[in-house]
Amino acid sequence: MMMEEIKIRDLKKEDIRDASNLVMRLKKFNSEHDPLFSVSPDLEKNVLEYLESAIKLETRDVLVADFKGKIVGAVMGEILDRPFYQPEKELRITEIYLLPEFRKGGLGKKMLDALVAKEGKKGCNIITVEFPSENLLAHKFYTGLGMRSILSIYGKKL
């Protein structure tokens, strides 16, 4: 597979079904790390609604990796206001998922770079990511890109 054959582009309405399958795979993977990430019985409906909203909202974006007409990756981000800090706008990566056969070749970084470039034009000057603490693959990926932990969230089921 040649990296040049993969196009990073905005999510389109006709991509939603394929992209939702990738996001659902990620959510199920997350649930394996921690029972607090047990997937909703309405997972498919919720993912479809989220992706549809990303096409319309200025503060939410989804980019896909298109390999010869097949969606092989997706990255989702949201713009958050930081009224108490500088920079004032944050790009929060909420999801990134690549099919296993498209990993370890630089595609994940290429997708993040594309989303950062797009959101930078909207005033985002900091990028953060969220993922389950026990997801060591995600930890290795993001620290390899020079990121570090800046916030901890603790939880328990009530």
Say yes or no to pLDDT of 33 above 60: yes
For residue 151, tell me if it sits in a domain: no
| 39 assigned to some structural domain | yes
Quick: pLDDT tens for 91-133.
999 999 999 999 989 999 999 999 999 999 999 999 999 988 8
pLDDT at 23 (0 to 100):
94
d(CA 112, CA 75): 7
Total number of domains in the chain: 1
Q: What is the pLDDT of residues 36-91, one digit of tens each?
A: 999 999 999 999 999 999 999 989 999 999 999 999 999 999 999 999 999 999 99
- Is 113 among the domain residues? yes
pLDDT score for 1: 55
Q: Give the pLDDT band (50/70/90) at residue 137.
A: confident
Query: Per the domain annotation, does 100 fall within a domain?
Result: yes
Averaged pLDDT, 3-32: 93
Question: What are 141's two structure tokens?
Answer: 């990926």
Q: What are the start-end ranges of the E strands in the chain?
A: 6-10, 60-67, 70-81, 89-98, 126-129
Return the SS3 of 142. Answer: helix
Average pLDDT score over the chain: 93
pLDDT of residue 133: 87
Please give the residue range of the domain that contains residue 22.
6-144
- Give the type of residue at 42: D
The pLDDT of residue 135 is 86
Residue 124, judged by CB atoms within 10 A of its CB (0-12, 13-18, 19+), counts as buried
CA distances from 104 to 2, 99, 101, 108, 112 (A): 13, 11, 9, 8, 14
- Return the CATH number at 86: 3.40.630.30
Determine the pLDDT at residue 128. 95
* Domain presence at residue 158: no
Instruction: Provide the whole-model pTM.
Output: 0.90
